[in-house]
Amino acid sequence: MSQGLNNKEQINLIKKGEIVVVNLPSQNKQEINQWQRIIDNFKTRLHKIDRSWQSGTKAQIQSQDTLLDTRQLNELEQILEQVGLTIDVIITRRRQTAVAAASAGYSVNQESSRILGYKTIESEIIQELAEPLYLKNTIRSGVEICHPSTIIIMGDVNPGASIISHGDVLIWGTLKGIAHAGATGNHEAVIMALKMQPTQLRIADLVATASTLPTDEYIAEIAYISSEGIKIHVASNFYRYYDFVSANNTWEMKDQAKFPRNV
């Protein structure tokens, strides 16, 4: 039998509207078997919890700074399913947890380990971003990945999947779902994919639906904000021909370039 845990050391459930928030305790790096104690305690307490929700209710996992692997996430999912809760999204400050969750097929919202701040340098507002999130798997339909910096995906983004980044979105595969770069208002952010077939593109506060060009070839392309809105250009020579002009908050041609295709 596990030892008793105080409220701050336990997994706590809070019903908020139509969802249940599952708050995990902070990680104690000094304790080797902390996760097992927490899970054993949670299983015992679940039998006594007043379940004021219907079967199939969505649960948001607030993991804070707790480091979780795929096995622990699956274990938590199985326990919650026994009381009618279905994991909707994993909210974490740990990049390793975000990678494990996304790799296991969960939707992820990675919060910054520090408050995202803004610094003024030579009258320019520069957003402090976290480290990039690198995922080596295909993002399936229904999964949403949110991260406070650049997101790099080695794989496809399927229709029905959403990628939301405060920085750039770089996809080493086919983009068929929704990609949102510069989500906090960064007009310099770009979206790049080996094959661009998105349901929707968003950069900062601009939205576009890309026209589908049927082709069997993989041609890396990059979506960016121009003076005329979101446009797409061949990625291989983009930075040779374009510069970001802070005064206009748009990417502009340095020289005569191939005309980008509209979206």
CATH number of the domain to which 98 belongs: 3.30.750
Judge whether residue 222 has pLDDT over 80.
yes
Dihedrals phi, psi of 143, to nearest 5 degrees: -95, 135
Look over the chain and give the mean of its residue pLDDT values, rounded to a whole number: 85
pLDDT at position 217 is: 61
Q: Are 134 and 91 found together in one domain?
A: no
Residue 88 forms part of a structural domain: yes
pLDDT at position 121 is: 33
pLDDT at position 29 is: 66
Burial class (CB in 10 A: 0-12, 13-18, 19+), 223: buried
Identify which has the larger pLDDT, 68 or 30: 68
Q: Are 31 and 92 found together in one domain?
A: yes
Q: In what order do the strands lie in the sheet with 108-110?
A: 12-16, 19-23, 57-64, 85-92, 108-110, 144-147, 162-165, 178-181, 200-203, 206-208
Q: Are 13 and 82 found together in one domain?
A: yes
pTM value? 0.81
Judge whether residue 245 has pLDDT over 80.
yes
Q: Which helix (H) or strand (E) holds 262?
A: strand 261-262
Q: Are 101 and 140 found together in one domain?
A: no
What integer is the mean pLDDT of 177-198? 96
Residue where a domain terminates, one of 52, 80, 111: 111
Range of the structural domain that residue 190 is part of: 129-263
